[in-house]
């Protein structure tokens, strides 16, 4: 992992100084800046992992120059396949060599995570390219004089000083994310996953974003495959993905090992490549603790296991730093444990393999169950749900059976976009409390997916892959890990698995009430007996206690300020009732909404003071 920044046009020396200062956490091993005629400026902050001696960027030859954030796991295979001869062992040079031979057609062959800025000297064009799933971030902006691009919004904000888009803030408070090409800033845009954009160097012109890869076609077909065949193929593809992520590093690679089956399977396969590798489990003081289960798995697999003890004792001092790293309001409260986990792991190594992506591709969430079972969504159930849902009291315990029934009734009483939003977001504020209309890009995407002639289960899983995965989960993983200069690798998000999993029959993902069915079958082959039956459990953040106690001084400071951003977006009376606990809302949802408002105000104050 690294940080990139660049410019086509006029670049001030102070702009480069900003990039160097603000991207050093992404690339602590060296920062290099080069200018290419006539007006292309490229900067790279490097975290050295592959070909430490020869992989310095920007890298160039007679045809092209490149800065690149990420890893290409199959780059040695590509050198053999296309007979590429280079002077280094770097995957960056592999991209340059392959581009010379294939042009942009090379993208179909790249397996990895990447944000690339490639300057074609002969064509006079710069191509900005983002990987399939959106593991690596890339932002861009066009001014009258220049076009800027880089790994983080914070850098572009500092250089360009743009105004804030209130409609984006409304979208954030309505859906729980800032989605799509548009960011919270006027004129700053996010390159979407699986997309590229072209800059004409002479004219300073910027093309429209073009999609070079999509997962949608793989959801639109169903593989004719038996359960046994699917299990064998998944085993083969995942082993290959794990092997490549272990072997394509010149530094030691370890594994995050939780009590879940995804990380357990990945760790088991990693030990076949590297017996006795180091594994890490997180143990939060008085809260989240899967260390007993993880220790059992580690003993079973023979890993060199270590428990990372983490506490929230210094959360009040750390919280603003955690929030401001995202460059935009970020509602997911698991950003807190993710920050501490990455910080502790980085004390021991630089590269970690994880189980991210398994839930989204193989049906790991409980909310997928009603979508996979036609009986639960029958006309009779829907009619009854529409009658009872409006009068059901809010649940007090989100883990209770009543809460599951409550959520199910709410889901079945809604249609399409409203239903998806209810299933996927904890925010969902009624539009009547907004002064500003939210953007429509998120809603348009969901409608287009729900209009497809595919199963209900595939609709929600595809919608999650296109929205929640890149704009919340992968963003959180990237920012939280890079704050500590830690690289995370996700075998489940390999190209082969992303093109294999969607077309599997639905009953191999969710069968009855069993989520992640095929992965549980695979887990039974690798993990201690019974582990394959364990329920999914992510980071359980004590959000109610945090909001009512630990973060309460900060909430009062920010939300009682005379310069609150929310006053331009929401009716102030709504926030006052929320703060004073006068809303008909569950404690959990109230805490989530207050947390979302707090992160927005912290971000806003940071923009004004920067």
pLDDT band at 99 (very low <50, low <70, confident <90, very high): very high
pLDDT digits (tens, 9 = 90+) for 492-532: 999 999 999 999 999 999 999 999 999 999 999 999 988 88
C-beta atoms surrounding 12 within 10 Å: 11
CA gap 477, 19 in Å, rounded: 21
pLDDT digits (tens, 9 = 90+) for 411-457: 888 888 988 998 888 777 778 899 999 999 999 999 999 999 999 99
In a domain, 408, yes or no: no
pLDDT digits (tens, 9 = 90+) for 455-477: 999 999 999 999 999 999 999 99
The domain boundary, picked from 511, 533, 555, lies at 533
pLDDT digits (tens, 9 = 90+) for 318-357: 999 999 999 999 999 989 988 988 998 899 999 999 999 9
CA gap 366, 154 in Å, rounded: 35
Pair 17, 116 in one domain: yes
The domain boundary, picked from 192, 211, 230, lies at 211
Cα separations (Å) of 462 from 133, 175, 515, 574, 595?
12, 17, 16, 34, 28
Pair 32, 179 in one domain: yes
In a domain, 398, yes or no: no
pLDDT digits (tens, 9 = 90+) for 205-234: 999 999 999 999 999 999 999 999 999 999
pLDDT exceeds cutoff 90 at 1: no
In a domain, 395, yes or no: no
Pair 46, 172 in one domain: yes
Cα separations (Å) of 589 from 83, 201, 217, 278?
57, 49, 36, 38
In a domain, 436, yes or no: no
In a domain, 456, yes or no: no
pLDDT band at 541 (very low <50, low <70, confident <90, very high): confident
In a domain, 558, yes or no: yes
What's the mean pLDDT when you consider all of the chain?
91
pLDDT band at 359 (very low <50, low <70, confident <90, very high): very high
In a domain, 85, yes or no: yes
Pair type for strands 31-36 and 40-46: antiparallel
> Is the dihedral angle over the CA atoms 383, 386, 387, 392 positive or is it negative?
positive
What is the average per-residue pLDDT within 285-293? 73
Residue 341 pLDDT: 87
pLDDT digits (tens, 9 = 90+) for 242-267: 999 999 888 899 999 887 899 999 99
What is the average per-residue pLDDT within 365-392? 83
Structural domain count of the chain: 3
Closest CA to 524 of 288, 300, 279: 300
Pair 156, 301 in one domain: no
Cβ atoms of 272 and 240 closer than 8 Å: no
pLDDT exceeds cutoff 90 at 536: no
Pair 11, 137 in one domain: yes
What SS3 class is residue 514? strand
Pair 609, 499 in one domain: no
pLDDT digits (tens, 9 = 90+) for 10-59: 988 898 898 989 898 888 888 899 999 889 999 999 877 766 777 889 99
The reported pTM is: 0.94
Pair 206, 235 in one domain: no
Write the CATH number for 103: 3.60.20.10
pLDDT exceeds cutoff 90 at 285: no
pLDDT band at 198 (very low <50, low <70, confident <90, very high): very high
Share of the chain above pLDDT 90, in %: 70
Residue 305 pLDDT: 93
The domain boundary, picked from 191, 211, 231, lies at 211
Residue 376 pLDDT: 67
53-62, 77-86, 96-105: segment of lowest average pLDDT: 53-62
Pair 226, 185 in one domain: no
In a domain, 133, yes or no: yes
Residue 468 pLDDT: 96
Q: What backbone phi and psi angles, to 5 degrees, belong to 571?
A: -70, 125
CA gap 236, 353 in Å, rounded: 18
Pair 171, 199 in one domain: yes
Q: Which residue range forms the structural domain that includes residue 584?
A: 542-610
Write the CATH number for 253: 3.40.50.620
63-77, 100-114, 247-261, 262-276: segment of lowest average pLDDT: 247-261
Pair 8, 63 in one domain: yes
Pair 581, 473 in one domain: no
Cβ atoms of 435 and 570 closer than 8 Å: yes
Pair 345, 480 in one domain: yes
């Amino acid at each position: 992992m690294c940080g990139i920044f660049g410019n086509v046009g006029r670049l001030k020396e102070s702009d480069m100084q900003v990039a160097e200062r603000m991207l050093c956490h992404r690339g602590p091993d060296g920062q290099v800046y080069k200018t290419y005629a006539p007006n292309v400026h490229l900067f790279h902050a490097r975290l050295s992992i592959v070909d430490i001696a020869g992989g310095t960027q920007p890298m160039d030859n007679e045809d092209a120059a490149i800065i690149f954030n990420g890893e290409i796991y199959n780059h040695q295979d590509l050198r053999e396949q296309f007979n590429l001869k280079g002077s280094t062992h770097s995957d960056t040079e592999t991209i340059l060599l392959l581009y010379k031979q294939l042009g942009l057609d090379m993208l179909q062959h790249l397996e990895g995570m990447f944000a690339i800025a490639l300057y074609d000297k002969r064509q006079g064009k710069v191509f900005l390219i983002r990987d399939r799933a959106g593991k690596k971030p890339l932002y861009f902006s066009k001014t009258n004089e220049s076009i800027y691009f880089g790994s983080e919004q914070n850098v572009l904000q500092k250089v360009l000083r743009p105004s804030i888009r209130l409609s984006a803030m409304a979208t954030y408070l309505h859906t729980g994310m800032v989605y799509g090409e548009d960011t919270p800033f006027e004129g700053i845009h996010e390159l979407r996953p699986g997309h590229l954009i072209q800059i004409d160097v002479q004219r300073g012109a910027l093309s429209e974003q073009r999609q070079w890869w999509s997962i949608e076609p793989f959801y639109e077909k169903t593989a004719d495959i038996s359960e046994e065949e699917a299990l064998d193929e998944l085993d083969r593809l995942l082993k290959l993905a794990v092997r490549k992520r272990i072997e394509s590093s010149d530094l030691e690679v370890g594994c995050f090992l939780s009590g879940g089956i995804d990380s357990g399977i990945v760790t088991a396969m990693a030990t076949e490549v590297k017996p006795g590798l180091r594994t890490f489990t997180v143990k939060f003081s008085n809260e989240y603790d899967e260390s007993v289960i993880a220790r059992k798995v580690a003993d079973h697999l023979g890993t060199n296991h270590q428990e990372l003890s983490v506490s929230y004792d210094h959360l009040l001092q750390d919280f603003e730093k955690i929030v401001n790293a995202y460059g935009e309001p970020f509602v997911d409260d698991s950003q807190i444990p993710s920050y501490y986990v990455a910080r502790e792991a980085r004390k021991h190594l630089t590269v970690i393999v994880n189980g991210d992506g398994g839930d989204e591709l193989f049906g790991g969430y409980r909310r997928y169950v009603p979508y996979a079972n036609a009986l639960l969504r029958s006309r009779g159930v829907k009619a009854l749900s529409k009658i009872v849902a409006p009068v059901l009291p809010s649940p007090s315990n989100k883990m209770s059976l009543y809460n599951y029934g409550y959520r199910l009734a709410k889901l079945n009483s809604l249609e399409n976009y409203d239903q998806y939003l209810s299933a996927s977001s904890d925010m969902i504020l009624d539009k009547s409390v907004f002064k500003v209309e939210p953007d429509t890009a998120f809603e348009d995407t969901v409608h287009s997916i729900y209009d497809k002639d595919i199963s209900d289960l595939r609709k929600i899983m595809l919608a999650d892959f296109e929205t929640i995965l890149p704009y919340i989960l992968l963003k959180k993983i990237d920012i939280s890990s890079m704050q500590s200069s830690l690289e995370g690798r996700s075998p489940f998000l390999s190209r082969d698995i992303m093109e294999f999993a969607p077309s599997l029959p639905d009953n191999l993902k969710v069968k009855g009430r069993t989520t992640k069915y095929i992965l549980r079958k695979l887990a039974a082959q690798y993990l201690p007996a019974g582990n394959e039956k364990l329920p999914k459990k992510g980071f359980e953040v004590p959000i109610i206690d945090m909001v009512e106690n630990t973060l309460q001084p900060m909430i009062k400071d920010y939300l009682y300020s005379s310069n609150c951003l929310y006053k331009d977006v929401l009716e102030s009376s709504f926030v006052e009732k929320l703060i004073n606990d006068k809303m008909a809302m569950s404690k959990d949802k109230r805490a989530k909404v207050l947390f979302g408002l707090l992160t927005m105000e912290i971000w806003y104050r940071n923009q004004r003071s920067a």
